Amino acid sequence: MKVTKQLIDNFFRDKQIAIAGVSRNPKKFGYMVFKELLLKGYKVLPVNPNSDFVHNIKCYHHIKELPSDVDSLLILTPKTQTDEILRKAINKGIKNIWVQQMSETINTMKIAEEYQQEIIHHKCIFMFTEPVKGVHRFHHTLVKIFGGMPK
pLDDT band at 128 (very low <50, low <70, confident <90, very high): confident
pLDDT in tens, 30-39: 999 999 999 9
DSSP 126: G
Beta strands in 14-142 (DSSP E): 16-20, 43-47, 53-54, 57-58, 72-75, 96-100, 120-123
pLDDT at 147 over 60: no
pLDDT in tens, 42-85: 999 999 999 999 989 999 999 999 999 999 999 999 999 999 99
Taking the domains of the chain in order of start, what are their residue ranges? 5-145
Fold topology of 5-145: Rossmann fold (3.40.50)
Tell me what the mean pLDDT of segment 101-113 comes to: 96
